[in-house]
Structure 1
Amino acid sequence: MKQIKLFIIDDSAIVRQTISKLVENESEIEILGVAADPIFAMQKFKTTGTPDVIILDIEMPRMDGITFLKKIMSEQPIATIICSCVAMSGSLKAIEALQSGAVELIEKPNLQTKTFLEKSKKSLIQSIKAAANSKLKIIPSLQKKTDSAILQTTDNVVMQKKNTQFIGGKRVIAIGSSTGGVQVIEKILTSLPSVTVPILITQHMPAGFTASLAKRLDSISNISVKEAEDGDELKSSTAYIAPGDTHMLVQRVGLKYIIKIKDGPKISHHKPSVDVLFRSFANELGKSGVGIILTGMGGDGAHGMKEMFDIGAKTYAQDEDSCVVYGMPNEAVKLGGVTHSLSIEKIIELIQSIK
């Protein structure tokens, strides 16, 4: 099997050493090199060759990570994993990096916590393998808006948003995604002029980053977007993002539907888990649920989608051509739980048509 050539770019020597130590015994991964900033990295690429995967810090001297990311994605795309702290400023920049072409996000190692490092190793290796399997391509409509354009539209969007009580009996949409999913979710939500049903989204993401994702999406979408909270009553024209490191479910209470946020072990190797969300839709919504599984590594969501399909719900998968990683959708298709496979554009049309 061909080794994955990994390059680590971080201005902290300790972080570079720690990440190198976590993967050094993995036979499938070769550490091609390390650098303290992107300028050094680009110089080293001339002798080492281009890596398959980059682990990239954001705040660095001479050139920050996002500037470097945009440069390589426009010239010679390389699968990039963002390594970021969970502080609000760091998480907002991490979300910007995902929207600029990064395919995975990991939390910067807590170097003083042994258990954190032990837990990080498995997640780190999964992220590296997922990134190595990703298909990198530029989608023109996903090009980042300028900051001024976003600021100009934000106030208008907020003023026009209307959230009304959602009455049981109508459709509710569940979306699950992982590697490459943030870009697709942004395209979907920002392309919707309006939507009359609630949308629940489970995106694989570490704790501390999902609030920033929701805030960012809310600022550029016509519908409301929020990080889900336990007890939230579903409202129309609203998207709810599952908080990192928890599971999100839907529960019917009389004629209303509410969100339940629960702790517990990882399901299908993930927390939040798409399977957990889809299974709750099968149990609580039955035929009124609509399931959509997007790009991502692994099989999370496939079994839950099959349960939705078996109970009579409509289920859809992102097609292979438009996926960054055709893993989760492929597993759902192989299990026989998908009604149709669709492009991103067709998924947007589908959501707009659901009442």
Structure 2
Amino acid sequence: MPQKIRVLVVDDSALMRGLLSQMIATAPDMEVVGAAPDAPTAREMIKALNPDVLTLDVQMPKMDGLEFLERLMRLRPMPVVMVSSFTEAGSETTLKALELGAIDFIGKPRSDGGRSMENYAEELIDKIRAAKGARLRRPAAASAAMSTVKPAVAPKAGLGNSGKIIFLGASTGGTEAIKDFLLGVPADCPPILIVQHMPEAFTASFARRLDSLCAPRVIEAQGNEKVEPGTVYIAPGHSHMQIKRTTNGYAIELASTPPVNRHRPSVDVLFDSAASLVGRKAIGVILTGMGKDGAQGLLRMRQAGARTFGQDEGSCVVYGMPREAYLIGAVEEQYPLDEIARRVLAAAPA
């Protein structure tokens, strides 16, 4: 019988520790080995219990989640899923935590509507399961991770006017992978449309953070924006994002239709619109992520004449979405993360 995933829950709220522990315990392949109210207690429990995965509260007394995470990833690296409040401050801190080495995050469960506790528990369990099998990244140093200096990336002659449009999808591990991809992209890049699986409270902060770090302009899509070179459009967490034709080019279209592959925004929805409307002028990119969202859409893009690229297994935090796309023939070329931007840009003028 396979060994169960050993989980340590860290949260300053006794109610939250109990709730998360109960949810995790419903999974037959998991066991909660302990629950800690603060970082010093968690440190001792990690030594004594040797858990496989940690769920970590962002805001805690004595030592906040960020400081504890930075020390943990330096001294005893292990898979961590952050549990964050749905606030602007919470989303900013969570993004920093992902830069420091956390595998994934989930918002705290809420009783004010939205989704059911059963759906929340299912997502939490999925994220812990993925974290157990994830590849630990080398964390960014705190000072570098929190830098807000835009880089100078040499322009690529004619790229912005090539008529090509880049469509990109990612999930688990994607916030850092997207950042790394965009750090290799010049300010005069073709338009880039991105779906990252993320709750709506987090996508605006994600776009602002990328905008502060990357050469192109990065915005959270609001709908009906003209698709222009030198701009990166991040799908908001509440809506599917598609591209639509207008009388003078293309524009962004948002839709609050039901989730696809359990996600809204869905990568498949974005890629399907690219296949239908942009065809051989499109470039599809699928990065690290859990599940299979985007695989079928990328295949349809390739069948429509688009160039398609996938992140390779060795550089993925979770080789799920790129693997599914690769297995069905949707990925034309597969590269490590540090090569993909260069390869995509090389295909843009073609």
- Asked if TM exceeds 0.5, the reply is yes
Q: Is residue 96–residue 145 contact of structure 2 (8 Å, CA) maintained in 1? A: no
Question: RMSD over aligned Cα, in angstroms?
Answer: 2.2
Matches within 5 A, 1:184-199: 184-199=177-192
SS of the residue corresponding to residue 230 of structure 1 reads coil
Q: Which runs of 5+ in 2 are unaligned?
A: none
Task: Establish whether residue 42 from structure 1 lines up as the match of residue 43 from structure 2.
Answer: yes
The answer on whether the counterparts of 1:82 and 1:105 sit within 8 Å (CA) in structure 2 is: yes
Which residue does 2:241 correspond to in 1?
A: 248
* Distance across 1 between alignment mates of 2:265 and 2:115: 20
- Look up the match of 2:29: 28
Question: What does residue 290 of structure 2 align with?
Answer: 297
By how many angstroms is 1:272 displaced?
1.1
Per-residue CA deviations over 1:8-28 (Å, capped at 9, x if unaligned) read: 111111111111122222101
Q: Provide runs of 4+ in structure 1 moved above 6 Å.
A: none
Question: Could you report, residue by residue, the CA deviation over 1:167-222 in whole angstroms, capped at 9, with x for unpaired residues?
Answer: 7x711001111111111111111232334301111111112101000011111111
Percent identity (aligned): 37
Q: 1:64 aligned to 2:48?
A: no
Q: Output the CA distance in 1 between the equivalents of 2:298 and 2:244.
A: 17
* d(CA) in 2 for partners of 1:10, 1:248: 35
State yes or no: 1:13 paired with 2:8. no
1:58, distance to aligned residue in structure 2 (A): 1.0
In the alignment, residue 344 of structure 1 is paired with which amino acid?
L
Alpha-carbon contact 2:315-2:336 (below 8 Å) kept: yes
Seen in structure 2, the aligned counterparts of structure 1 residues 341 and 18 have a Cα distance that, compared at 3 Å, is same
What amino acid is aligned across from residue 91 of structure 1 in structure 2?
Answer: S
- Structure 1: distance between partners of 2:144 and 2:177: 19
Superposed displacement of residue 261, structure 1: 0.9
Counterpart code for 2:187: S
Structure 1 Cα separation of the partners of residues 216 and 316 of structure 2: 24
2:165 and 2:192 in contact (8 A); partners too? yes
Distance in 1, Cα, partners of 2:192 & 2:331: 19
Shift of the 288–85 alpha-carbon distance from structure 1 to 2, 3 Å rule, reads: same
In the other structure, the counterpart of 2:127 is 127
Please tell me whether residue 313 in structure 1 is matched to residue 310 in structure 2: no
Query: 1:24 corresponds to which letter in structure 2?
Result: A
- The alpha-carbon distance between structure 1 residues 29 and 148, as it changes in their structure 2 partners (threshold 3 A), is closer
Cα distance in 1 for partners of 2:331, 2:145 equals: 38
Q: 1:258 to 1:322 in 2, by over 3 A?
A: same
Give 1:135's aligned amino acid: R
Equivalent position amino acid for 2:244 in 1: Q
Residue 123 of structure 2 aligns with an amino acid whose one-letter code is: S
Distance 1:191 1:244, change over 3 A: same
Measured in 2, the distance between the counterparts of 1:350 and 1:238 equals 19
Question: Could you report, residue by residue, the CA deviation over 1:134-180 in whole angstroms, capped at 9, with x for unpaired residues?
Answer: 011316xx545448852xx35x98xx99xxxx87x711001111111
Q: Deviations over 1:278-329 (max 9, x none)?
A: 1110011011110000011111110000000111110010011111111111
- The question of 1:215 aligning with 2:216 is answered no
2:53 touches 2:132 (CA, 8 Å); kept in 1? yes
Matched length: 343
Q: C-alpha distance in 2, partners of 1:148/1:25?
A: 37
- Supply the AA of the counterpart residue of 1:76: R
**Residue type of the partner of 2:288?**
T
Partner of 1:275: 268
- The code of the aligned residue for 2:68 comes to F
Give the match for residue 326 of structure 2.
333
The letter for the 2-side match of 1:300 is: D
1:352 corresponding residue in structure 2: 345
Counterparts of 2:22 and 2:111, CA distance in 1: 12
Offset, 1:111:
4.4
The normalised TM-score by structure 1 is: 0.91
Measure, in 2, the Cα distance between the counterparts of 1:262 and 1:112.
23
Counting only pairs closer than 5 Å after superposition, residues 82-121 of structure 1 correspond to structure 2 as: 82-111=82-111, 115-121=115-121
Note the C-alpha offset of 1:255. 3.6
The verdict on how the C-alpha distance between 1:258 and 1:320 changes in structure 2, with shifts beyond 3 A counting, is same
* Contact 1:109–1:116, Cα closer than 8 Å, also in 2: no
